[in-house]
Amino acid sequence: MKIFNLIAFLLVTGFAAHAQKYELGEVTKEELEQKSHPTDPTASAAILFSKGTTYMDYSTSSGFMIVTEVDTKIKIYNKDGYDWANKIISYYSSDNGDETVDVNKAVTYNLADGKIVKTKLKKEGEFTEQVNKFYKQRKIMMPDVKEGSIVEYRYTVRSPFISLFPEWRFQEPIPVNYSEYTTRIPEYFTYKPNFRGYLAPKVSNSSANKRITYVEKERTGRGTQFSNGQIDYSEKIAIYVMENVPALKDEYYVNNIDNYTSSIEHELAVTQYPGETVKSYSHSWEDLAKTIYNYDDFGGEIKRTGYYEDDLNALLSGADTQEKKIVVIFSYVKNRMNWNSYYGYTCHDGVKQAYKNKTGNVAEINLMLVSMLNYAGLEANPVLVTTRSSKIALFPTRSAFNYVIAAVQVGNEIVLLDATSKSALPNILPVRSLNWNGRLIRKDGSSLEISMFPQSNSKELITIIAAIDEEGKVSGKARDQYFDYNAFIFRESHSNSNLDSYLEKLEKRYDGIEIENYSVTNDDLNKPVVEEFNFVHNNISDIIGDKIYVHPLLFFAETENPFKQEKREYPIDFVYPRQDRYMITLSIPEGYVVESIPESLALGMEQNIGSFKFSIQANEKQIQLIATTEINYSNIPQDYYTVIKDFYQKMVEKQTEKIVLSKKI
């Protein structure tokens, strides 16, 4: 081996110039006695410090490795924080190579009779689980955890996959007092740091000179000769620090909080070894899409047609328009195939076997759908998607996507299809796939970014005809119609549910209601779901003296603003645009008159974000109300948080005003 080629494999680590500020084992009585977090008294736990270092190592047996060492110290304040005493470390394990995880220095500290007591992690508190075909989890469950405990642990992950460093999270759902992440990268490698979230770390850069002493073997006529050599190189050191990081608290209408958690990821951009040309590893989204399409278990599966041709030819005999062909093929795949709950954009058993078994993963079902649509003469392509349960990738990588749907061109419109759900319709997709942008790939290698945000409002129309008696009891009939995504979610949630169980949940949601004569019309996917029931509600009005006070929206009134934080650093995600419309007719009891009703109101938000219209009128016998709430966008930037918060507050205030009925004198 030439000496310069040896550089690519022989790397050692040194010590960063940055002084060690926090160390494991340094636990004080003051820390153990602390009852609550100084800046966040509501916190159930806090990370006192977390330090990580990622560096590159080499061994003759394993080759290049990325090594990440992590030290963490956590304070437990109350029982709600006990889960923070446990740690789950996910790692890759497959035929393509294994990562390894080692846990050590895992200790729980408690205060007993004024003395610090240490309890080390026991063997039964550490175990490994197989998550799926590709990933395992190392779990540790710290012993003797109590309110006031401090736990600390160190673990090391060794990985043969040098294209990515592991993600480092500076922010968590609990406060982080100090977070430090160090990277040590030999001069022959360039990694691009990618930041996520709205808080930026302090960064310090330095370098260190390194020297490798190695032994080189050379065979001669007199046997093997050994000689010593040295290589000097420079190591780039970057230290990222955040202090006093507030907890990232989940709130209503967030798709995946991890998308907004302050963190850093590193991707390999360039390598350049001495005497060799520069090699770039950075790819565009277009390059990635083309690469994926060329996989045998992706684009290769779309090309396969023989296994379904006879069946499909018979089905298409009467379909003479594009629209009819789409309906026939989409319905056929949905009804024949059963999703096995596995994600992924590549096939596992292949489309032919999946078709035979009538069961497959996401890719097998939807790539089969793409293939059939193309076979029928339509222009169909796969669309790569990242599900809502996964983070949006910061840069192009094969793991950026974990799902695939179908797209078919109809005139100037692209119609999206997902046959993994029996309840899905064209452009009505499973909610799991409604996540920012997907990427449509064509067989010629070109690609197109596709918005996964639904554009049209899904309606819910509620009609109530009811009467209130002199005891404040409200009884009547309700009719609830669910359209589009509202209908889809209803069908997905209740298709296999027990009726009695569902009615029990409904009565619990509308506290105090009794439901009778329930019926639901849910047979035709192209029509709304319609619920109808009779009800009696004993807990919806107040009687004070000779007056009855009742909410105009009855048990549908929204009584609490879901937006409570002063500010928000991530978008408001409503999943899909919506319109909720209530039409209520309420008869008043004999011997009573309407003393007052809330004033009508019309609210609107800037940029046509949404509106609320509240129209009410009364006569001697009845009160009639029409209330309509519209949210016109799936996803709204955080810049409009104050606007939305104020809008909801005014809407809640209006809905919680009371109708006042008084006895006739």
505-563 pLDDT, tens digit per residue, is: 899 989 889 999 999 999 899 999 999 999 999 989 999 999 999 999 999 999 999 99
Q: What is the pLDDT of residue 223?
A: 67
Distance CA 124, CA 109 (A): 18
Contact 88, 72 (CB under 8 A): no
Q: What is the pLDDT of residue 221?
A: 66
Tell me which of 192-206, 248-262, 363-377 is least confident.
248-262
pLDDT surpassing 70 at residue 12: no
**Mean pLDDT on 222-242:** 83
Interhelix angle 362-375/322-336, rounded to 10 degrees, is 150
State the Rg of the chain over Cα.
31
Distance CA 497, CA 644 (A): 35
608-646 pLDDT, tens digit per residue, is: 999 999 999 999 999 999 999 999 999 999 999 999 999
Distance CA 247, CA 47 (A): 10
Distance CA 22, CA 71 (A): 9
From the number of C-beta atoms within 10 Å of its C-beta (0-12, 13-18, 19+), residue 442 rates as: middle
565-609 pLDDT, tens digit per residue, is: 888 889 999 999 999 999 999 999 999 999 999 999 999 999 999
Q: What is the pLDDT of residue 96?
A: 67
Q: What is the pLDDT of residue 398?
A: 84
207 membership: H or E segment, kind and range: strand 202-220
Q: What is the pLDDT of residue 308?
A: 98
272-288 pLDDT, tens digit per residue, is: 888 889 998 878 999 99
Cα–Cα distance list, 253 to 256, 562, 579, 613 (Å): 9, 9, 16, 22
Q: What is the pLDDT of residue 11?
A: 36
Q: What is the pLDDT of residue 445?
A: 87
24-75 pLDDT, tens digit per residue, is: 999 999 999 999 999 999 999 999 999 999 999 877 667 678 999 999 999 9
Higher pLDDT, 496 or 641: 641
Expressed in percent and rounded to 5, the helix, strand and coil fractions of the chain are: 20, 45, 35
| Average per-residue pLDDT for the chain | 92
pTM: 0.87
pLDDT surpassing 80 at residue 497: no
pLDDT surpassing 70 at residue 220: no
Q: How confident is the model at residue 401 (pLDDT cuts 50, 70, 90)?
A: very high
Q: What is the pLDDT of residue 21?
A: 59
**Mean pLDDT on 108-117:** 95
158 membership: H or E segment, kind and range: strand 150-159
Q: Which residues, at least 6 apart from 20, have a Cβ–Cβ distance to it below 8 Å?
A: none
Q: What is the pLDDT of residue 584?
A: 98
